[in-house]
Structure 1
Amino acid sequence: LKKKPLILYNGTASTISRSIPMEKENSILNNLANIKWAEVKKIEKENSILDLCSLIKKADLVISVDTGITHIASAFNIPTIVHKSSENVYPKSSISIENSLYDDNLYKMAEDILEYIYTMSA
């Protein structure tokens, strides 16, 4: 039996202005819970940068505000959905999409990316 795809979510940045407010974060996680065939894990404080990198490397998709997490995922060639912000710094690559994490169709976008990944690897 194939394991469920892993989606990592992070809403915390180094500044409050770039972070997702806690009350909105629950809404985003509930939106992503619509993907019943994937596991959604919120990135918590990891013990070390190596632990964080190990976790990211296992992911099939990373959804995050623009932080080092998105840049690490990009370096591992893991698709990312990066929260649209005014700073426009996120990793620019063919596997990185800038979109609002408040979008009601976020789960559909994530599903489409995962389905594409699994179709291409089959």
Structure 2
Amino acid sequence: MASHGITGRRLTVLIALDDVVRAEHLSTALAATGDLLPIVAGSRNRADRADVAIVDGVYLERGDLEGGPNDPAIPRVLLSQRASRQRPADTVFAVLPAAADDLLIAAAARLAAAGYRISGEG
């Protein structure tokens, strides 16, 4: 498991949500954690490569951001209205409700970036 805390490097989190207000709010919350560097898709801020992407169903289906949230090498956290019926698969490492708490999303992003899959199955 890669430890970004030891190197002082912040995890780059690409946020690709159809709801721009939610994306900006989430970006602010993630930035406040100190160990995450959020980049909102479509903003002027760009990263060479994201460590993890937080996406919604719109971006998941569209798949139109090259090198972005649909890059197969980037683990994704899916925020979904149908979270209870969806399971992590392929590069989706976690599925959370669209209204999930920002700190829960941050925790899921850290785990996904470290290679863990999060499932509600138990």
With normalisation by structure 2, the TM-score equals: 0.57
Unaligned stretches of 5+ residues in structure 1: 12-18, 47-51, 118-122
Quote the Cα distance in structure 2 between the aligned partners of 1:3 and 1:62: 17
The offset of 1:20, in angstroms, is: 1.8
Quote the Cα distance in structure 1 between the aligned partners of 2:50 and 2:79: 18
Query: 5 Å matches for 1:1-122?
Result: 3-11=9-17, 19-20=18-19, 22=21, 24-44=22-42, 58-66=49-57, 67=59, 68=63, 69=65, 73-86=69-82, 93-96=89-92, 97-104=94-101, 105-114=104-113, 116-117=114-115
Alignment length (residue pairs): 96
Quote the Cα distance in structure 2 between the aligned partners of 1:43 and 1:35: 20
Q: Indicate the structure with greater helix content.
A: 1
Quote the Cα distance in structure 2 between the aligned partners of 1:108 and 1:34: 13
Quote the Cα distance in structure 2 between the aligned partners of 1:26 and 1:60: 19
- Paired-residue identity, %: 12
Quote the Cα distance in structure 1 between the aligned partners of 2:13 and 2:90: 18
Q: Which residue of 1 aligns with 2:120?
A: none
User: Structure 1 residues 45 and 2, CA, compared in 2 at 3 Å: closer, same or farther?
Assistant: closer
With normalisation by structure 1, the TM-score equals: 0.57
Unaligned stretches of 5+ residues in structure 2: 1-6, 116-122
Quote the Cα distance in structure 2 between the aligned partners of 1:28 and 1:110: 12
The structure showing larger relative contact order (alpha-carbon pairs under 8 Å, at least 6 residues apart) is 1
